Chain A
Amino acid sequence: MLHFPKWKIVLILTICFLGFAYAAPNLVDRSVTETWSRWLPSQQINLGLDLRGGSHLLLEVDVDAVTRERLESVVDITRTELRKARIGYTGLGIDGEAVVLQSRESGQVDEIRRLLSAIDPDLTVEAGEGGRVTIRVSETALTARKQAAVEQSIEIVRRRIDETGTREPTIQRQGEDRILVQLPGIDDPERIKALLGQTAKMVFRLVDTQNSQADAMAGRVPPGSQLLPSDQVGPDGRPQQQYLVERRVMVSGDTLVDAQPTFNNGEPVVSFRFDSVGAKRFGDVTAGNVGRPFAIVLDDKVISAPVIREPILGGSGVISGNFTVQEAQDLALLLRAGALPAPLVVLEERTVGPGLGADSIAAGEIAAVLGMVAVVVFMVIAYGLFGIIANVALVINLVLIVAALSALQATLTLPGIAGIVLTIGMAVDANVLVFERIREETRNGRPPVSAIDAGYNRAISTIIDSNLTTFIAAVLLYIFGSGPIRGFAVTLSIGLLTSMFTAIMVTRLIVVMWLRRTRPKTLPI
């Protein structure tokens, strides 16, 4: 028993030393650790949003919209192709997850199939009864498109948030089609939510001046055109004006390379610049339509519809639209960051202000210190000298938890602090098991050394069993939990591991040292 292998002593001391080294950066301000040599551990505990304040948003990419858009484009392709091939049909439209139509003459399915699959190999064409034709997009193609939409959305979300100047945002994919956004230090996320709530698809389209807008308002919208509302809202909450706009897109906003808020005659406007392809198209269209108005359309709302006075050949221009300074800034930001491939929906929002976070940390510290003091006093009363040894182990345990949290950069949350406090209470359990066993063995007449040896050896399997069962619960908590709860699972698991180490290794080492030095006849336990 008194023999403790050298390598074990070295290992235990090394772990304890590393613990202190990794925990130390938390004692000083972050600005101090930055000046340290890079050989020294300098990472501090990563505080969760509930402690440092900030906003947590769970967004969902509306992938159904992606499917719908794909099917709409299939309808367009089909319409054009069948018209070109002079195939008669009726009832072309979307039905569930497919495009359907009714061909005039039976036996044309093969022809339709040949035409469509030449253009888009992802399409399958099935013949139904009585000339009914069903066109489907293959499952793999749809899934791939949804995947791409989610990935692109994450990229756009990141760009938009970076543009707002938020510090250290976290943007992660969660599950199939969700995006988790964490914004430290943001206590009013309304602006960011507004920015993320728009797909910001911008297109330039000509205003339809051939047909009467009054007719269209009365319900007779010409096939190639569309009525769109103005984005200016009147006092009654309804759009101030409707525009009759051609469906055909003149130039699309994805050819923009830059957009900046600026002023034009004292009015906030957004200046933009096209890439070479966009510039050429814009130049061609404006040259051919001088004198006609064109509409600048953002998410199916008309921002403004200026008249083309002369061909715009330089590839740049300005958008004016009664903006406030903030609106002009936001629009420029959205245009720079690019359009979202599908709308985003906010599923969950949790925001903690800086005041509450600071209060929670303070309360957590008080609770941890009080809990610690209570346990320390209790252990000394119950076990005397051995209680003091257990307390030394308890302090080392706490240091190791802090060190592990810092080194792993795990996030400490409010429930996480509760987890640490709970661990303080449970950590001494392993020591209690050992000490009670030693008492028992002493009562059974064993001499000190042999009683201590038996106490440790017999208690170990119990300690492992009891800690592992708690560990199981913690792991499940991590798997099924989210946010702060995961933080709790992490601190609880780390606490269980470190407390097993301190109880089995550290206290044992101290007890052996003490035994070697004093060689007691009886045990003060």
Chain B
Amino acid sequence: MRPLRLFPETTKFDFVRLRFAAFGFTLLLLTATALSLAVNGLNFGIDFKGGILVELQAQQPIQVADLRNHLSNADLGEVEVQQFGNPREALIRVEAGALRSQEASQIVPRLRQALGDQYEFRRTEVVGPRVSGELLRDGAMATVLAILAIGVYVWFRFEWQFGVSALAATAHDVIVTVGLLSVTQLEFNLTAIAALLTLAGYSINDTVVVFDRIRELLRTHKRAALGEIINLAVNQTLSRTILTSATTLVAILPLLFFNTSTLLNFTVSLVWGILIGTFSSVFVAASLLLYMPPVGRSQEPDKTGEKQAAATLENEGR
């Protein structure tokens, strides 16, 4: 069985020259993120805002107006009713951030009373204001620490210039994904944080593969300019980068079929994050090395390396 060649054997894109376009695009995304955060903010879930969330299911399709009527009789203050794909399901959110937890705990029994037996309470979440504050703090801390730790790891395994680039690229991917959550107003909750961290881990994966190749080429091509080496490394790893992104995408796309809202933000963030992560690994991360003090290259002559380098360059048709 012969495999299909999904990608050309060797590519010779000049990624280094394309970097200005890529930087421009990145800048655009970052600006859009900043604007959206300033205008829309994030749609914090009750994990981070405190309050009450109830997921209902009924035997018949739910009439939202009817449901609202029932709820307004229960005198619960600010109540939000929302429907997702399935017409027999609805989400109810009660703002209870300001309520003390003792009072908040009375709301669910009152909801049950107001709605009667026609509705099944599939999920109930009550998060007090103190816990939500802690969850938000921990979530933010985990994300920042993860990005820093990844940078430090890369610095430790490579050199500091690589660490800085990796840090910048990973932070970029995470920030831009936060931007997507802000633009789409998808719920920003603990699951979203999990998506951000996964994506940080995934995106650095791609970057490390490229850096690994750059390091190898730096050893073998002692006289080549850094720009040339970056281009060579990105091109040589390109088919792997795209193949891995593709397999990961095809694996997680079915998660979109979850008919509940629970994992929607997770899946959307990851799909977007994989695309953005691939983009930044290919166009941004490596090119950033050009703007930093030159990476130290060992001066010892490496005979086998030279030989191999000559072979590679020949193969690349230079």
A residues bordering B, Cβ < 8 Å? 58, 187-188, 190, 193, 197, 345-353, 355-356, 359-360, 363-364, 366-368, 370-372, 374-375, 378-388, 414-415, 418-419, 421-422, 424-426, 428-429, 432-433, 436, 439-440, 443-445, 458, 461-462, 465-474, 476-477, 479-482, 484-485, 488-489, 492, 524-525
Contacts and interface: CB of A to CB of B under 8 A. Distances in A.
Contacts of A387: 3
Given A415-B191, A466-B205, A470-B201, A355 B122 contact: yes
Interface residues of B, number: 83
B249 A414 contact: no
A197 B315 CA distance: 75
Nearest to B144: A476
Contact of A470 (B10, B191, B202, B262): B202
B283 to A, nearest CB: 19
B85 to A, nearest CB: 12
Given A346-B102, A380-B3, A444-B312, 10 more contacts: A349-B126, A351-B123, A351-B124, A363-B257, A386-B3, A415-B263, A425-B250, A433-B240, A443-B315, A477-B142
B72 interface: no
B55 interface: yes
Contacts of B204: 466, 469-470
- Which of A367, A383, A386 lies at the interface centre, i.e. has the most chain B CB atoms within 10 A of its CB? A367
Given A349-B126, A433-B240, A378 B260 contact: no
B124 A469 contact: no
Interface of A is mostly: helix
B294 interface: no
Interface of B: 1-4, 6, 9-10, 55, 57, 101-102, 105, 108-109, 112, 120-128, 130-131, 135, 138-139, 141-142, 145-146, 149-150, 153-154, 157, 190-191, 193-194, 197-198, 200-202, 204-206, 208-209, 212-213, 216, 236-237, 239-240, 243-244, 246-255, 257-260, 262-263, 266-267, 270, 311-312, 315
B100 to A, nearest CB: 9
A222 B105 CA distance: 37
Contact of B3 (A384, A440, A481): A384
A371 B197 contact: no
A422 B198 contact: yes
B153 A346 contact: no
Contacts of A348: 126-128, 131
A524 B1 contact: yes
25 contacts: A58-B131, A366-B254, A366-B257, A367-B258, A371-B253, A371-B255, A378-B246, A382-B3, A382-B243, A415-B194, A418-B267, A421-B252, A421-B254, A428-B244, A428-B247, A432-B247, A443-B315, A466-B209, A472-B153, A476-B142, A476-B146, A484-B190, A488-B194, A524-B1, A524-B2
B236 A440 contact: yes
A367 B270 CA distance: 15
A426 to B, nearest CB: 6
A485 B260 contact: no
B47 to A, nearest CB: 9
A150 B202 CA distance: 41
A345 B208 contact: no
Contacts of A381: 3-4, 6
Given A367-B255, A440-B236, A481-B190, A426 B122 contact: no
Nearest to B127: A348
Contacts of A345: 101-102, 128
Contacts of B212: 461-462, 465
Contacts of B138: 480-482
Contact of B57 (A355, A382, A424): A355
Contacts of A492: 198, 201
| Max count, chain A CB within 10 A of own CB: residue among B4, B131, B205 | B205
A482 B55 CA distance: 21
A199 B100 CA distance: 19
Contacts of B253: 371, 374
Contacts of B120: 353, 355
B251 A436 contact: no
A167 to B, nearest CB: 20
Given A443-B9, A469-B150, A374 B240 contact: no
B260 A359 contact: yes
What 10 pairs between A and B have smallest CB-CB spacing? A425-B251, A470-B201, A425-B248, A473-B201, A384-B3, A480-B142, A370-B254, A371-B251, A374-B250, A356-B122
B190 A482 contact: yes
B266 A418 contact: yes
A462 B208 contact: yes
A414 B244 contact: no
Given A352-B123, A418-B263, A469 B135 contact: no
Contacts of A379: 247
Contacts of B55: 356
